[in-house]
């Protein structure tokens, strides 16, 4: 689906492809072309015939059709236009088994954009909340488009980056739950979940770092297509990404600590079990020898015929057991 918006003479118009062609030739106003899951023919018409973008850039756009993760973020200056790839992220329920019900996987997708003097072309195969959001905003307040394609594009990626926040919050919650589990109900699934979480954090961190670097370049005045006045807005998005990646970094540290904790808790459990085993062996093995002693068939075994023999032996066994326990307590083994 292709939607074309033009802001011209303080008015917002929705153009057909034909009108677009005309508007481009007459350099009329500011234009936003959004290709939402376009057909190959549409891509051909718009990207190749109308705008004549570089084949490699178009190839990078189209890579997003088949690949799950999309092309990693990048910005390339072709002189007349900037080609920018951004990676939105979303959380997808992992849910392979019932136990890991709160597990989720972070997936990246691809938003490609061409930024020229007066025109912004966005291109994506998956539906994007931020595009819809920008579209509505422009509908309500056409002057946003009037501020130029660089301002509009900043708005789209600012919203994309804001969408990272709920995912990071969800990661934070997961970490808290994992922490709970590690210290109170450690199980093998905990380990699996922690490893899954670690991968998620790595994904979001990697994408964040790439885009942070990219926005650093966009906000430094390296590209003339981003005007001096708009650079501060890109700097703002950069700042948000710095915070995201910072959070991701600190989550990574915490998850690393959780792994250590898990191993430690597991080894603690082993110690606990060994203590019980030792305690029981220590108390009952000697008693077993004592009963064995009086079970020997020696004719002259003393006390066998003594009236209080059994009592004495029982008391002796009690004393041995108590003494052992006392010795253990003293050494803090129990």
In terms of CB distance, is 41 or 299 closer to a second copy? 299
Distance of CA 215 to the CA centre of its chain: 20
Counting contacts by CB under 8 A, is residue 228 touching a second copy?
no
The answer to whether 226 and 234 are in contact (CB under 8 A) is: yes
Of 15-23, 94-102, 122-130, 273-281: span binding a second copy (CB under 8 A): 273-281
Structural contact between residues 67 and 210, judged by C-beta atoms closer than 8 angstroms: no
Distance between CA atoms of residues 191 and 309, nearest Å: 57
x-marked contacts with a second copy along 91-110 as a string, rule CB under 8 A: --------------------
Rounded CA separation 304/130 (Å): 92
What x-and-dash track marks residues 135-174 binding a second copy by CB under 8 A?
----------------------------------------
Read off φ and ψ for residue 127, nearest 5 degrees. -65, 140
Using CB atoms within 10 A of its CB, is residue 88 exposed (0-12), middle (13-18) or buried (19+)? buried
Give the range of 45-53, 106-114, 141-149, 258-266 binding a second copy by CB under 8 A. 258-266
- 310 makes contact with a second copy (CB under 8 A): yes
Euclidean distance between CA atoms 280 and 324, whole angstroms: 10
CB contact at 8 A, 71 and 159: no
If binding is defined by CB under 8 A, does position 235 make contact with a second copy?
yes
Judged by CB under 8 A, the chain residues 238 through 257 that form the site for a second copy are: 239, 242-243, 246, 250, 253-254, 257
**Measured between alpha carbons, how far is residue 132 from residues 34, 124, 239, 279 in Å?**
10, 12, 24, 68
Stretch that binds a second copy, among 9-17, 20-28, 129-137, 194-202 (CB under 8 A): 194-202
Member of 183, 220, 227, 315 binding a second copy (CB under 8 A): 183
Closer to a second copy by CB, 118 or 309: give it: 309
Taking the least distance from each CB to a second copy, the nearer of 95 and 132 is 95
**What is the spatial distance between Cα 309 and Cα 288, in angstroms, rounded to a whole number?**
17
What is the nearest approach in angstroms of a second copy to the Cβ of residue 7? 22
């Amino acid at each position: 689906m292709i939607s074309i918006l033009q802001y011209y003479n303080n008015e917002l118009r929705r153009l057909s492809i034909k009108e677009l062609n005309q508007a481009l030739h007459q350099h009329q106003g500011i234009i936003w072309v959004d290709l939402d899951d376009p057909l190959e023919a549409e891509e051909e018409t718009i990207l190749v015939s109308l705008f004549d973008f570089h084949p490699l850039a178009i190839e990078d756009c189209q890579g997003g059709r088949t690949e799950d993760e999309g092309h990693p973020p990048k910005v390339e200056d072709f002189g007349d236009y900037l080609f920018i790839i951004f990676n939105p992220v979303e959380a997808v329920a992992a849910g392979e088994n019932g136990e890991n019900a709160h597990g989720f996987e972070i997936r990246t997708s691809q938003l490609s954009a061409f930024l020229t003097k007066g025109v912004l072309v966005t291109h994506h195969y998956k539906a994007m909340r931020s595009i819809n959001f920008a579209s509505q905003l422009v509908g309500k307040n056409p002057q946003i488009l009037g501020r130029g394609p660089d301002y509009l594009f900043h708005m789209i990626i600012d919203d994309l980056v804001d969408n990272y926040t709920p995912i990071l919050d969800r990661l934070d919650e997961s970490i808290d739950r994992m922490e709970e589990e590690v210290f109170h109900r450690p199980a093998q699934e905990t380990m699996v979940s922690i490893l899954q979480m670690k991968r998620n954090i790595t994904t979001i961190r990697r994408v964040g770092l790439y885009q942070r670097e990219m926005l650093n370049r966009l906000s430094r005045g390296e590209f003339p297509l981003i005007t001096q006045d708009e650079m501060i807005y890109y700097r703002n998005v950069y700042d948000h990404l710095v915070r995201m990646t910072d959070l991701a970094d600190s989550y990574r540290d915490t998850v690393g600590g959780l792994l250590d904790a898990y191993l430690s808790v597991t080894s603690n459990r082993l110690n606990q079990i060994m203590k019980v085993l030792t305690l029981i062996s220590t108390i009952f093995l000697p008693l077993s020898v004592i009963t064995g002693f009086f079970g020997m068939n020696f004719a002259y075994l003393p006390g066998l015929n003594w009236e209080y023999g059994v009592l004495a032996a029982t008391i002796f066994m009690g004393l041995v057991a108590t003494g052992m326990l006392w010795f253990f307590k003293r050494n803090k083994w129990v």
